[in-house]
Structure 1
Amino acid sequence: MNRGISLMADEIFENPRLADIYDSFDPDRSDLDAYESMVNEFGANSVLDIGCGTGTFACRLAARGIEVIGLEPAEASLKVAKTKHWSDRVRWIHGNALELPPLKVDLVTMTANVAQVFLTEEEWKETLLAIRDVLRPGGRLVFETRKPESQAWQKWDRENTYQRVDVFNCGVVEGWVDVTDVQDSLVFFRWTYVFENDGAIITSDSTLRFRSLKEITKSLREVGLSVEDVREAPDRPGREYVFIARRQTDVY
């Protein structure tokens, strides 16, 4: 899940066996409804989806005729994305925000946990600067981030996250997550998957940075992105911030 300045992605996204089962373990993507609504609200005709993963959101937008660019450092996830309906209408880019070719879009999105994978201040600032540069004047960045005070990680254990899923063309797979460490604003955790057809056990270690409302607001303003609104995530009321930041016409 660490999709920062490095091209290295976590095993859950980069390992082909895990990328192939990712959607089966997260089939309810109603969290994307709010993002799709904001595309309408802001009249965006072009969207850059950073950390697009297996491409669910990008393909949803492409089906509506939106110009979509899906950016993802994990090649295995992109391979899955390219098999989906409407994927031929998405421009897929393997890489991170610092390696984007010249382009301009109306809206940049970072759904799910993407905004929290940038662990250092340098990673976060460099990414925000890259985003600002691809936004047209008046264009917007929309992303969500979990509220540190809700301490969501307290329920990241086998008891609360265990799933046993029968995956098409794969067989039954067991999966769960466990927190391995918490250091200040950093939460470290490990995904474990057991493939019943051959007994394979594959793990993936991830880390998220939990930033405060004040920290995020300050970081956006420092790169010339004004905070237009901070909303609740409809699927996680009281547990997440949804930031809407707009590119200022004059930036430093």
Structure 2
Amino acid sequence: MVDHPALAAIYDAENPWGRDDDFFLAVVGETPAARVLDLGCGTGRLTVALAGAGHSVTGVDPHRPFLAAARVRPGADRVTWRHGTSEVLPDAAYDVAVLTSHVAQEIHVEADWRRTLADLHRALVPGGRLVLDSRDPAARHWERWTPRHSRRRLTLPDGTVVTAWTELTEVGEGLVRFRHHRVLPDGVELLDPGTLRFRTEDELRTALHAAGFAVERIHGGWAGEPVGAGDDGELIVVAGSHRQPLSAAACASAPR
């Protein structure tokens, strides 16, 4: 990810509060006064709201500029902020863990994904819950990631207007590569390449099962629609850490 003083503000302008935040806030609220982990918390939009709802919240992110922005949000003093990835998580410290804004897809190397799920299982108490979102590959969201369909104008809090669009660069073997373009008023263009893993429902279930999670439900949209129904094109997973992870040998024969 590129580093620029305006990047955190651009990110917030591109990602205002939405139905996804309402969903995560409601699901976490099913466990009152929970100890919550927000892994990949970004600039802390939802993280601070979770703390404001009465939870004890830890936000973890590997991107220092985003954490810096999170720490100065109103209410940020209620949150414990940590720089890093799932490797920094303590054992049995959380009742609920959330991965929002499709951060699960950014963990696109499968070995890293397995390690992240193992770390999350370790960090949750027995019976804890994991909630995450991932775009359904069947919805083919990437087909709209073109300059024509994705061009947008963003107004930052200081009045700066940024022109942005997303350019699809490669699709294959479950991976989608793209490049974000953000052009500042002075003509400076911020280029931010990225890679996302689009996992099927079956792939998500298999990986979660191998890591020791029991899937409670998977929704296809933010109003609780079944997978494949509606227009959201999501795979929204709620899973519980109710059992031990499978051994390496058992993973090969895990039910799909």
Compute the TM-score of the two structures, normalised by the length of structure 1. Answer: 0.90
CA contact (8 A) 2:58 2:81 kept: yes
Question: What amino acid maps onto 1:129 in structure 2?
Answer: A
Aligned to 1:226: 214
Q: Distance in 2 between matches of 1:147 and 1:41?
A: 25
Matching of residue 243 in structure 1 with residue 237 in structure 2: yes
Structure 1 residues 174-205: Cα deviation after superposition (integer angstroms, max 9, x where no partner): 11111011122100010001111x22111100
Aligned to 2:67: 78
Aligned to 2:253: none
Deviation at 1:48, TM superposition (A): 0.2
Could you say what the CA RMSD is over the residues aligned between the two structures, in angstroms?
1.7
Q: Distance in 1 between matches of 2:72 and 2:159?
A: 16
Indicate how the Cα distance of structure 1 residues 135 and 164 shifts in structure 2: closer, same or farther if over 3 A, else same: same
CA contact (8 A) 2:181 2:192 kept: yes
Aligned residues: 240
Compute the TM-score of the two structures, normalised by the length of structure 2. Answer: 0.88
Deviation at 1:132, TM superposition (A): 0.1
Matching of residue 213 in structure 1 with residue 201 in structure 2: yes
Structure 1 residues 119-144: Cα deviation after superposition (integer angstroms, max 9, x where no partner): 12211100000000010100010001
Gapped regions of structure 2 (runs ≥ 5)? 224-229, 247-256
Q: Percent identity?
A: 34
Gapped regions of structure 1 (runs ≥ 5)? 1-9
Q: Distance in 2 between matches of 1:158 and 1:176?
A: 5
Question: What amino acid maps onto 2:50 in structure 1?
Answer: L
Aligned to 1:7: none
Of 37, 41, 50, the match for 1:52: 41
Structure ranking higher on relative contact order (CA contacts 8 Å, 6+ apart): 1
Deviation at 1:232, TM superposition (A): 2.5
CA contact (8 A) 1:44 1:106 kept: no
Deviation at 1:162, TM superposition (A): 1.2
CA contact (8 A) 1:19 1:80 kept: yes
Indicate how the Cα distance of structure 1 residues 249 and 166 shifts in structure 2: closer, same or farther if over 3 A, else same: closer
